[in-house]
């Protein structure tokens, strides 16, 4: 097995998943605004230290996605965050796209940027200790969108990114996110998700990406947030698995989900339901949540030194619940036991 394949497998190891802590400056500002604290280099550093040094973290977390600034930061005592993770057996990763912009000629659609100079940036990230990367494509649902051209533009960029990562010995986490902001129903999400995944994998194959040395990060099949007809846990689990079986090659090393605006507990329950079905799937199904892992810890911490340990406790609990969900062993009652 190649080094790339070993890293990819370790990212989806039994009982573990990935923490997405790669919020860009505007995104972390939004999160900090919600708890009324200023976003500065030091508040961001402290917040990330709280998450990364949470007790028991290595039991349920296989990898962490950093933002550029965080990959270079250290704990208050001066240990590099990368070294903190390595000591805990957690794999450091890095977000390498530079964000999405409106796609010219296609109102409402976006394309992710960041390919220019990417090879040199990846070389630096390897030196800084990163083992995997993330690139997120945004697929919006609306009237007449996404278009085939809009999806293909994003799929092409994902292919270019993934090939460059593998060239540099980094595992690409390939993330096409079908957004849940709209009022579409679950069937529409299913259709767009399958179409997107089929186009992405055709592009990855054409660009000679090794599927065994990559991870797919994708959305679950869910109705839009504004849809009147919300789906139950079982339906989300079944339709998501059906979409993945239809469109994801069996050789892909693993699939992780983003939370995408789902609340923490449903995110856990959906993942658990998929893993509790007892199906023989070709890939492990795990998590790579941002908000669903962090939101309750952020609200508990609120930027106060005296709440640092309480924030860690809340974070460790969510990590544990999701770790159990990768094994299909999560139960609602476990939320109360922790309270």
Residue that has been written with the tokens 């009982």 in this structure: 15
Residues that bind ligand 13P (CB under 6 A): 20, 136, 175, 258-260, 289-292
Question: Closest approach of Cβ 310 to ligand 13P, in Å?
Answer: 22
229 secondary structure, DSSP code = S
Output the residue with the shortest Cβ distance to ligand 13P: 290
Q: Which of 141-168 are b and which e, b meaning 16 or more Cβ less than 10 Å from the residue's Cβ?
A: beeebbeeebbbbbbbbbbbbbbbbbeb
Give me 274's structure tokens.
Answer: 């998929």
Give the pairing type, strands 17-21 and 61-66. Answer: parallel
Whether 175 is catalytic: yes
CB-wise, 17 or 284, nearer to ligand 13P? 17
Residue 63 or 146: the one with the smaller Cβ distance to ligand 13P is 63
Taking the least distance from each CB to ligand 13P, the nearer of 179 and 205 is 179
Catalytically annotated residue among 109, 175, 177, 203: 175
Distance of CA 215 to the CA centre of its chain: 10
Q: Minimum Å distance from CB 18 to ligand 13P?
A: 9
Distance separating alpha carbons of residues 88 and 281, to the nearest angstrom: 29
Nearer to ligand 13P, 25 or 120 (CB): 25
At its nearest, how many Å lie between ligand 13P and the CB of residue 177?
6
Q: Which residues contact 288 (CB under 8 A, 6 or more apart)?
A: 17, 18, 19, 20, 65, 173, 217, 256, 257, 258
CB of 260 to ligand 13P, least distance (A): 4
> Is residue 101 flagged as an active site residue?
no
Q: Are 132 and 172 in contact (CB under 8 A)?
A: yes
Please identify, using beta-carbon distances, which residue of 137 and 231 lies nearer to ligand 13P.
Answer: 137
Rounded to the nearest whole angstrom, what is the least distance from the CB of residue 180 to ligand 13P in the complex? 9
Distance, in Å, from the CA atom of 103 to the CA atom of 240, rounded to the nearest integer, reads 28
d(CA 97, CA 38): 25
Question: Catalytic amino acids?
Answer: 175, 217
């Amino acid at each position: 097995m190649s080094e790339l394949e070993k890293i990819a497998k370790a990212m989806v190891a039994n009982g573990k998943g990935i923490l997405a802590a790669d919020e860009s400056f505007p995104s972390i500002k939004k999160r900090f605004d919600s708890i009324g604290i200023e976003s500065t280099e030091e508040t961001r550093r402290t917040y990330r230290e709280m998450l990364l040094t949470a007790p028991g973290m290595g039991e349920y977390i296989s990898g962490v996605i950093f933002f550029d600034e965080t990959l270079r930061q250290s704990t208050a005592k001066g240990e590099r965050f990368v070294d903190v993770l390595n000591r805990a057996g957690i794999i450091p990763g890095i977000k390498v796209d530079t964000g999405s912009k409106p796609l010219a000629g296609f109102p409402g659609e976006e394309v992710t940027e960041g390919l220019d100079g990417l090879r040199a940036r990846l070389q630096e990230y390897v030196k800084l200790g990163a083992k995997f990367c993330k690139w997120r494509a945004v697929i919006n649902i609306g009237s007449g969108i996404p278009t085939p051209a809009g999806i293909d533009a994003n799929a092409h960029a994902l292919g270019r990114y993934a090939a460059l990562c593998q060239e540099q010995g980094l595992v690409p986490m390939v993330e096409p996110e079908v957004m849940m902001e709209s009022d579409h129903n679950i069937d529409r999400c299913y259709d767009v998700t399958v179409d997107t995944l089929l186009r992405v994998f055709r592009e990855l194959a054409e660009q000679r990406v090794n599927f065994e040395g990559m991870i797919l990060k994708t959305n679950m099949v869910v109705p839009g947030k504004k849809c009147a007809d919300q789906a139950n846990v079982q339906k989300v689990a079944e339709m998501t698995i059906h979409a993945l079986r239809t469109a994801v090659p069996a050789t892909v090393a693993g699939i992780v989900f983003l939370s995408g605006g789902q609340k923490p507990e449903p995110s856990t329950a959906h993942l658990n339901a998929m893993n509790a079905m007892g199906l023989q799937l070709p890939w492990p199904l795990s998590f790579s949540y941002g908000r669903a892992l962090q939101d309750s810890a952020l609200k508990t911490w609120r930027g106060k030194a005296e709440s640092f340990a309480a924030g860690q406790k809340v974070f460790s609990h969510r990590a544990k619940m999701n770790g159990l969900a990768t094994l299909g062993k999560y139960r609602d009652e476990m939320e109360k036991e922790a309270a």
